[in-house]
Structure 1
Amino acid sequence: MKIAVLGTGGGGRAHAAKLLELGHEVVMGTRDSQVTLGRTEPDFMGIEPFGQWLADYPGIDLMNFGDAAETADFVINGIDGANALGVLTDIGEHLAGKTVMDYAVPFIYNPTQAHPWPTPWGVMPALDPVDSDSLGERIQRALPEAKIVKACVTQEQETVVHPKAVADGDHTIFIAGDHDDAKEQVTGLLQSYGWRDVLDLGPLVSARGMEMYSHMHSAIQFALGGARFGIKVMR
């Protein structure tokens, strides 16, 4: 399958590398491929320049967002939450009829708050939208002909693509969406990553809980001293 991974950060790189290993044809999308390849300094998270990383994966192509989406059969959205809706709306014609697995979280960084939550790396980001809407739902409303499936937002993407790194894979990953065929496609991909427990939370409205869980995830990780972990739904 030809898969487009939109976004060149650590999460997108993790998916792209795993997909290549699994034998898929992989293209990554960015706002301006020449600018992305021209960077020589680590990003604000300390991640090495994309061009250096890409040199180790000659089977992966880099294109602008629209071109990447147009060529793909299946799309993974790893664009940061503040920009995802705008970018996906702009390239909507290339997403019509396709499954889009969305793991973006709508973080607002450095928010002005009366009672900020200090963390080891600064103030905890705020979420917008929250409670009565979700980024996943906003993307679906903006792209009615695409099939949005919210997934992979309850752990780091490096763990998503290597679930056995935690508890030998004995933990749960969640999906939600309004299109059963798209959820079957996403479930199949996650199973190919090694997931044994993929829990369908139902319609896309469940993305609200999935996105809001991000703060709980951070709190647990702080308590564990930064260690990777998973959660398991016990039946």
Structure 2
Amino acid sequence: MKIAVLGTGGGARSHIAKLLELGHEVAVGTRDPQATLARTEPDMMGNPPFRQFLAEHPGVTLLTFGEAAATADGPVINGIDGHNAVAALTPIAGALADKTLIDYAVPFVYQHDSEHPWPTPWGVMPKLDPCDTDSLGERIQRALPDTKVVKSFVTQEQATVVDPQSVGDGDHTMFVAGDHADAKRRATELLKSYGWRDVLDLGPLVCARGMEMYAHLHSAIGFGLGQQFGGHFGIKVVR
């Protein structure tokens, strides 16, 4: 399949590398390809410049967001940071029409003022916006009414999403939610190709609220395990 990955951060790179390994054609979307290639410093998460990653992964095509989405005949994976996702995706609605968009972004707002901040080993915990009465997944679906949005991948670090066997021999649970059965089926097929055996369909896209709000618990579990950033662990629904 031709699969598009939107974004060039660490999570997007995990998917790009795995998709290449599985034999897919991969187009990567970024806001400004020339600016992305011109960067010589690590990004905010410490990832090396993307041009170095490209050199190590031949066959990847770097395009604008819209151009990359237009190439896909399979799912499009949204790895754009949550704070900017709706603004970046709305102008390319035409390229995403009738396609499955798998969104794993967390709507984090960094460097916010809080009356009761949550200190972490790497700074104040970002807040979620939206939260409780809306979700980023739903906002993306409203902005892209002709796209089939599926919320998934968001309850794990992306390095674990693409390699579930790296934790507990793969005995943990991944979730999908969305309003289109065929799109959830495509997302589930991709997850199974990654090696997931337990994929739980939570139902409609409104359930994205629960998945996104889990982000804070994910961080807390990581801290409890002594993992200061991210987390190499899984969660299992026992039933």
TM-score tier (shorter):
over 0.9
Query: Aligned AA for 2:237?
Result: V
Q: What corresponds to 1:234 in structure 2?
A: 238
Q: What corresponds to 1:55 in structure 2?
A: 55
TM-score using structure 2 length: 0.97
Q: What corresponds to 1:149 in structure 2?
A: 150
Q: What corresponds to 1:83 in structure 2?
A: 84
Deviation of residue 44 (structure 1)?
Answer: 1.3
Q: What corresponds to 2:25 in structure 1?
A: 25
Structure 2 residue 124 is the aligned partner of structure 1 residue 123: yes
Provide the C-alpha distance between the structure 2 equivalents of 1:76 and 1:232, rounded to a whole number of angstroms. Answer: 24
Deviation of residue 72 (structure 1)?
Answer: 1.0
**Secondary structure of the corresponding residue to residue 176 of structure 2:** strand
Query: Aligned AA for 2:113?
Result: T
Query: Aligned AA for 2:55?
Result: A
Provide the C-alpha distance between the structure 1 equivalents of 2:61 and 2:146, rounded to a whole number of angstroms. Answer: 26
Cα deviation code 1:166-221 (max 9, x no counterpart): 00000000010000000000000000000000000000000000000000000000
In structure 1, list runs of 5 or more residues that go unmatched.
Answer: none
TM-score using structure 1 length: 0.99
Structure 2 residue 218 is the aligned partner of structure 1 residue 214: no
**Secondary structure of the corresponding residue to residue 91 of structure 1:** helix
Q: What corresponds to 1:92 in structure 2?
A: 93
Q: What corresponds to 2:110 in structure 1?
A: 109
Provide the C-alpha distance between the structure 1 equivalents of 2:54 and 2:173, rounded to a whole number of angstroms. Answer: 30
Q: What corresponds to 2:66 in structure 1?
A: 66
Moved more, 204-213 or 224-233: 224-233
Provide the C-alpha distance between the structure 2 equivalents of 1:220 and 1:190, rounded to a whole number of angstroms. Answer: 23
Deviation of residue 93 (structure 1)?
Answer: 0.6
Provide the C-alpha distance between the structure 2 equivalents of 1:171 and 1:52, rounded to a whole number of angstroms. Answer: 33
Provide the C-alpha distance between the structure 2 equivalents of 1:101 and 1:153, rounded to a whole number of angstroms. Answer: 10
Provide the C-alpha distance between the structure 1 equivalents of 2:140 and 2:44, rounded to a whole number of angstroms. Answer: 26
Provide the C-alpha distance between the structure 2 equivalents of 1:180 and 1:104, rounded to a whole number of angstroms. Answer: 21
In structure 2, list runs of 5 or more residues that go unmatched.
Answer: none
**Runs of 4+, deviation exceeding 4 Å:** none
Q: What corresponds to 1:162 in structure 2?
A: 163
Q: CA RMSD in A?
A: 0.6
**Secondary structure of the corresponding residue to residue 55 of structure 1:** helix
Deviation of residue 59 (structure 1)?
Answer: 1.2
Deviation of residue 84 (structure 1)?
Answer: 0.4
Deviation of residue 71 (structure 1)?
Answer: 1.1
Query: Aligned AA for 2:233?
Result: F
Provide the C-alpha distance between the structure 2 equivalents of 1:130 and 1:123, rounded to a whole number of angstroms. Answer: 18
Cα deviation code 1:32-65 (max 9, x no counterpart): 0000011111111111000011101111111011
Identity over the aligned pairs, expressed in percent?
71
Q: What corresponds to 2:16 in structure 1?
A: 16
Provide the C-alpha distance between the structure 1 equivalents of 2:111 and 2:223, rounded to a whole number of angstroms. Answer: 19
**Secondary structure of the corresponding residue to residue 14 of structure 1:** helix
